[in-house]
Amino acid sequence: MNAYRAPLGDMQFLMSEVFRADEVFAAMPGTAEVTPDLISAILEEAAKIAENLLSPINRNGDHEGCQWTDGVVTTPAGFKEAYEEYVAGGWAGLTGEIDFGGQGMPKLLSSQIEEMFFGANSSFALYTILTTGATLTLSEHASAELKQRYLPKMYEGRWTGTMCLTEPHAGTDLGMIRTKAVPQADGSYRITGTKIFITAGEHDLTENIIHLVLAKLPDAPAGPKGISLFVVPRNAVDNEGDLTGELNGVSCGAVEHKMGIKGSATCVMNFDSAQGWLVGELNHGLSNMFTMMNYERLSMGLQSNGLADSSYQTAADYARERIQGRSPTGPQQPESAADPILVHPDVRRMLLTMRANIMAGRALSMYAAMQLDISRFHPDPEQRQQADRLVALLIPVAKAYCSDRGFEMCVMGQQVLGGHGYVAEWGLEQNVRDARIAQIYEGANGIQALDLMGRKTVRAGGELLAVLLTEMDKFVADAQDIPGMDRYLPHLLNNQQMIRSVTRSVIDRASDNPEEIGAASYAYMELLGLTLYNFMWLRILAAVLPKLQAGSGDTPHLSGLVKTAEFFFARLLPRTRALIDEIEAGAQTLMAMSAEEF
């Protein structure tokens, strides 16, 4: 099994040359001290953690899994020691609020660290990102008292966090939840109910686990409008933020036996009159939790991309070394019994498809993360609003399209290795299993597509899409003077014209038949995903071409990016036409069959 290698070269190029992170950070007081040298230093240290600490325990974590005995969950060998080293390095509070002990680093930076950690060891990474999301939600919505009680120890890594949404009968439709919150005289609430699929709900890594729980008061309005959010510690905490030594009515009833991410504890959590405190306002729990969900959904795209890159590394190395058959143009290594399989066009098709999708997916995740930073840190309210609108459109795509492509790329890497990809020793079958969950959790990809098509496009009258298209127009105006870009810009202009036209068509059809929204949603999400990958590759070329022309930078790396981009435009982007045809086919062929005919 090949060891994971952090893709620092690509990440640093995207950060510094494509997105010019130093200029973005310098324009915002909250990130002005995040200099290029600091960015490089943090990424390099994160790469060491990924390569030397997390990657070596990845396979064992999959083999051993998490063990549950009488409510106690034990993580795989090496996880606890790795977590202690992770905490000692200060990583737990990297993006946290400075006033409570965090380091205040931006998402654009932390997103790349997440990708590395996911690529090296997805199960371990999940323990860390849930805490990051929980602390963000507390930071944005909790009272000053609650923040002081919980955030410092969570930023220290002494306590971890979760989010508890799903119940046995209520997944996507959270308005159906039954978990109850009963008000108490001291201002707290007693929380009773069962939550399932809770990542890191119970484990042995820390002394306490802080749960963010969705629940309803007895007299709450029906449906989603009656949901409130509560912070519920596993172990009781006093007003000063210290453990009291008592349990708090929170227990783990079981851990799930899963296809992948076996080193991550996926728990059934029982709340038996557990004491909790309201986060934000009553009946605003779902909107408050979505502060966390936007970040978590972006993380699912990062997980898939990290695993896809891990698979690409193994597949590319294998293709250079495995000898089998001869090149169609004649022997390339006549001294050997055969040529490396890299000489075969179909092997190159797979590797180039992987590289084209991974690089564009990484760039899209960074672009979305940059918008999250602008919406959080920028001093100009108009800029923050613009970024918020872009985030609303980008997150469903960054979650669904990136996780779909990431899983497919893991399967494709497996295919490059043939039979060796199917056996455990090379690690690719684990990557396939670990990547599969990203299409399902944090809102299944079909729901992401429906949200994009319905709420974010049809109901918004196409206004959010117009914001993105305007950003593309600005890019084209700036890039058209770069020598060589005139060959590539028409790809985006054609794409924009297609998506404008099909968006109007769906909006018009949906006014007469609401089923048109769901019928178009998945193909539309994929169309917008391909359009965004197109946009990302053009942004990459706009940074690469001037360097090549000036003879500066790493020429093989830069020329490889150009050739990968040309492969994308020639062989992957043409699928937009088929997606347009699928969308225009309408709802009839989907809805014509009766239930009995299925």
Q: Which residues are catalytic?
A: 442
Residues in the chain: 598
Indicate the DSSP class of residue 335: T
Asked if 1 and 349 touch (Cβ cutoff 8 Å), the reply is no
* Assigned token pair, 296: 């978590």
What is the distance, to the nearest Å, from the Cα of residue 524 to the centroid of all Cα atoms in its chain? 20
Residue 92 burial (10 A CB sphere; 0-12, 13-18, 19+): buried
> Which DSSP helix (H) or strand (E) runs through 321?
helix 285-321
Among candidate residues 471, 463, 568, 468, the one with its CA nearest the CA of residue 528: 468
Whole-angstrom Cα distance, residue 543 to residue 480?
Answer: 13
Q: Where does residue 158 fall: left (phi above 0), alpha (psi -120 to 50 degrees), or beta otherwise?
A: alpha
Number of alpha carbons in the 13 Å side-chain half-sphere of residue 173: 7
Cα(389)–Cα(394) distance, integer angstroms: 9
Separation between Cα atoms, residue 149 and residue 526, nearest integer Å: 43
| Angle between the N-to-C axes of helices 445-453 and 381-417, in degrees from 0 to 180, rounded to the nearest 10 | 140
Q: Going by C-beta distance under 8 Å and a sequence separation of 6 or more, which residues neighbour residue 69?
A: none
CB atoms within 10 A of CB 25: 24
Contact 293, 306 (CB under 8 A): no
How many helices and strands in the chain, by DSSP H and E?
20, 11
Query: Quick one: how far is CA 66 from the chain centroid?
Result: 23
3-state secondary structure of 194: strand
Count of C-beta atoms within a 10 Å radius of residue 245: 8
CB 249, CB 202: distance < 8 Å: no
Q: Which two tokens stand for residue 173?
A: 């439709």
Write the Ramachandran bin of 357: left for phi over 0, alpha for psi from -120 to 50, otherwise beta: alpha
**In this structure, which amino acid lies at residue 272?**
D
Question: How far apart, in whole angstroms, are the C-alpha atoms of residue 404 and residue 398?
Answer: 10
Tokens representing 576 are 């937009």
